């Protein structure tokens, strides 16, 4: 019985270390923590790509569409453009949309059957959210750093895809998140 309890505790520890972005971080990571986890992501990228979970499954058309979308927004707000798109993880997707405020974005986090909206601001090439998380880019990977029980952790997303052209799908499956999306000045589509 003791071994089973230890095994359960180990599972809980593993689950807490890989918590998705849907939970709110306790605080922003420090500059040192960010630097260490950025180096960790850089080291992990080859194994992530080899794992099959983070293979680039985008079609050439999806790649082109997302690149054109980011380029159009780069003319208006170059800081946010590299972050825009649908970022994929193992069981989670992040939809990063532009917001009306310069340097601002809206993040729709969908994890299994739950969703949450949070907003963010891009500063110094990193995306800081109102959930005390920080996102950073490394090639076609997006690192998410959050802090739980004073321990920084890294969660990876990869290969941004095009965003949906409207918020209809969001409204259909996640009406509360869609209402928050519309109330927060989130933008859909190309810049006007």
What per-residue confidence (pLDDT) applies to 19? 47
Instruction: Specify whether the CB–CB gap between 29 and 147 falls below 8 A.
Output: yes
What per-residue confidence (pLDDT) applies to 22? 53
- The Cα–Cα gap between 95 and 87 comes to 6
| Residues 6+ away with beta carbon under 8 Å from 32 | none
What per-residue confidence (pLDDT) applies to 89? 93
- The Cα–Cα gap between 127 and 64 comes to 23
Instruction: Specify whether the CB–CB gap between 163 and 88 falls below 8 A.
Output: no
- The Cα–Cα gap between 100 and 68 comes to 20
What per-residue confidence (pLDDT) applies to 23? 65
- The model's pTM: 0.86
What per-residue confidence (pLDDT) applies to 21? 44
Where does residue 106 rank: exposed (0-12), middle (13-18), buried (19+ CB within 10 A)? buried
| Residues 6+ away with beta carbon under 8 Å from 116 | 22, 108, 109, 177
Choose among 19, 12, 48: nearest CA to 109.
19
Q: What is the mean pLDDT of each run of 10 residues along the chain (192 residues)?
A: 36 38 80 96 94 91 96 97 95 94 95 92 97 95 95 96 85 90 92 88
């Amino acid at each position: 019985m003791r071994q089973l309890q230890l095994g359960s505790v180990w599972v809980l520890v593993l689950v807490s270390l890989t918590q998705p972005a849907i939970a709110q971080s306790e605080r922003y990571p420090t500059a040192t923590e960010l630097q260490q986890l950025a180096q960790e992501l850089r080291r992990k990228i080859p194994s992530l790509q080899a794992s099959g979970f983070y293979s680039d499954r985008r079609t050439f058309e999806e790649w082109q569409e997302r690149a054109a979308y980011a380029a159009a927004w780069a003319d208006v707000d170059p800081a946010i453009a590299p972050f825009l798109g649908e970022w994929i993880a193992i069981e989670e997707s992040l939809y990063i949309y532009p917001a009306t405020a310069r340097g601002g974005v809206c993040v729709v986090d969908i994890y299994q059957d739950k969703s949450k909206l949070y907003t963010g601001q891009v500063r110094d090439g990193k995306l800081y959210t109102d959930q005390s998380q920080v996102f950073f880019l490394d090639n076609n990977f997006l690192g998410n750093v959050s802090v739980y029980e004073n321990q920084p952790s890294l969660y990876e997303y990869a290969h941004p895809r095009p965003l949906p052209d409207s918020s209809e799908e969001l409204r259909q499956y996640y009406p509360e998140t869609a209402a928050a999306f519309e109330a927060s000045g989130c933008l859909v589509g190309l810049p006007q």
